[in-house]
Structure 1
Amino acid sequence: MYHVVLGVDEDEEHARAAAGEITNLPGEGEGVEVTIVHVFQDNPSGASATQVASVRKAQELLEADGIEVDVTESSGDPADAIIETADEADSDLIVVGGRKRSPAGKALFGSVTQTVILNGGRPVMVTGVVDGE
């Protein structure tokens, strides 16, 4: 079984792009398992990850390709939660969506993707959306 941890925020286009890249991994979806992790920064209504549109979209796309999907949620620092989920699952790959940021923006505000790449301890695939999507 090839286990992928997919970090999904609220951005549906990033979720769609990441799910698409996972479905393009070698094989026909059989033998691939994906854990989608959504990290709440603020959740006063007590919503669950499966109520987030981007999570549902990624799950739908993956399951339509025959991929087994589990959804989990966390709160706090997104990078730490993604890495912790990958460690607990002993995943083979982490998939996260990249964002266009200037070097100064990364230095000032940090980057979930950068932290996952540097501290994840396993391969990381960074996906994005094409300009104009």
Structure 2
Amino acid sequence: MKPSLADRPHVTRVLLPASNHSQWAESVADVVVDTEDDDDLTAVVAHVFDDDEVESTNENLDIEGRAKVDELASRKSGVNAATQRLEDAGIDTEVRGVEHEGEPAEAIVAAVDEEDADRLYMYSRKRSPAGKAVFGSTLQEAILKARVPIVVVPSNAL
């Protein structure tokens, strides 16, 4: 007899959006390693692409045809840095590429839902109030829209 979902142990899933900045990605991965119980944990390391970045990554990697976005994400330096830290700590890791047309925060929040993540880990970079007003804040939007707790790794964690 197949066990019901209620009988199966819950695997905690966390989502780490990783930019191309390896140090930021490593900092976030380090916080996951330090704060999560690695038993029954899966970390999903995601890179958010807009259409232009998908095309340029395909061209830069000289891939014939169009590669799957998960494959492209696995080639990003920030994703590799975070994945390596997590795997070195014995944490099960998956890589996802996430395409978006609008704001990156919307894609991140959608990925939280798609991956059924229990928590979201994000890096906070230092920005002036004027910079936030002009350029917006992916972190701020994610905090306002995500349905899960968010662990914010401060910029001085480097």
By the TM > 0.5 criterion, same fold? yes
2:39 is aligned with 1:30? yes
After the TM superposition, which residues 1-133 of structure 1 pair with which residues of structure 2 at under 5 Å, given as runs?
A: 1-27=11-37, 29-41=38-50, 42-43=53-54, 44-46=56-58, 48-76=72-100, 77-130=103-156, 133=158
SS of 1:38's equivalent in the other structure is: strand
Please, which runs of 5 or more residues in structure 1 have no aligned partner? Answer: none
TM, length-normalised to structure 1? 0.91
Kindly state the Cα deviation for residue 128 of structure 1 after the two structures are TM-superposed.
3.1
Distance 1:55 1:26, change over 3 A: closer
SS of 2:90's equivalent in the other structure is: coil
Higher helix share: 2
SS of 1:66's equivalent in the other structure is: coil
List, as ranges, runs of 4+ consecutive aligned residues in structure 1 with deviation greater than 4 Å.
none
Distance 1:129 1:100, change over 3 A: closer
Q: Distance in 1 between matches of 2:36 and 2:12?
A: 10
TM, length-normalised to structure 2? 0.77
Deviations 1:8-31 (A, max 9, x none): 11111110100000001242x121
Q: Distance in 2 between matches of 1:78 and 1:61?
A: 24
Deviations 1:45-91 (A, max 9, x none): 32501111110010010011111111011222321111111111221
